[in-house]
Amino acid sequence: MRILSKLVIFGVALAASWAPANAAPTITVNLTNASATGSENLAQCPQTFNFTGTIDTSGWPAGSDRVVAYRFEGVDGVVEMTHMVIFPEGGGSKTVAASWTPFGSGTYWAQLHILKPIDVLSNKSSFTTHCT
């Protein structure tokens, strides 16, 4: 009986020390619709479109660095440089923003791509430009 109780205690201690190190945080992202700025006449090109994204995190394991690496990506292959934000222990919410200026008429989309610590894509925010 003593051996069994020691094994149970050892197993519980091992599981408790192992679980947080292997637990992954939960990350959700959302990108709001694009809004055009910089021109009263939207038929003029180029037009600048602004994006606002929200990154929500929870479930960070104890002792983790809580760093999220992200970038904005577009339909035409435009990839913005990678940025990093640090979240408080336990997680939280951060707002990130970007601007994009396509040079021509067309329908485009952009999305927010979380690269680290897990790979997550936001919804695609679509917009259309009409140049005269």
Question: What is each CA distance from 94 to 11, 31, 52, in whole angstroms?
Answer: 38, 12, 10
Percent pLDDT > 90 in the chain is 23
Q: Which two tokens stand for residue 63?
A: 């002792």
Question: Model-level pTM?
Answer: 0.73
The reported pLDDT for the residue numbered 2 is 56
Instruction: Report whether pLDDT(11) > 60.
Output: no
Return the pLDDT at 99: 87
Please state the CATH superfamily assignment of the domain spanning residues 24-129 in this structure: Immunoglobulins (2.60.40.10)
Question: Mean per-residue pLDDT for 34-60?
Answer: 74
Residue 13's pLDDT is what? 42
User: Where are the chain's structural domains?
Assistant: 24-129
- CA-closest candidate to residue 31, choices 58, 55, 67: 55
Task: Give the three-class secondary structure for 25.
Answer: coil
CB 68 within 8 A of CB 116: yes
Q: Each residue of 57-86: pLDDT tens digit?
A: 998 877 788 899 999 998 877 778 999 999
- Whether residue 61 has a cis bond before it, omega within 30° of 0: no
Instruction: Record the tokens describing residue 47, joined without a space.
Output: 């037009």
Q: How far is CA 91 from CA 8, 55, 82, 129, in A?
A: 32, 10, 20, 37
More confident residue, 131 or 81: 81
What is the C-alpha to C-alpha distance for residues 51 and 83, in angstroms, rounded to an integer? 15
Q: What local confidence, expressed as pLDDT, does residue 88 receive?
A: 87
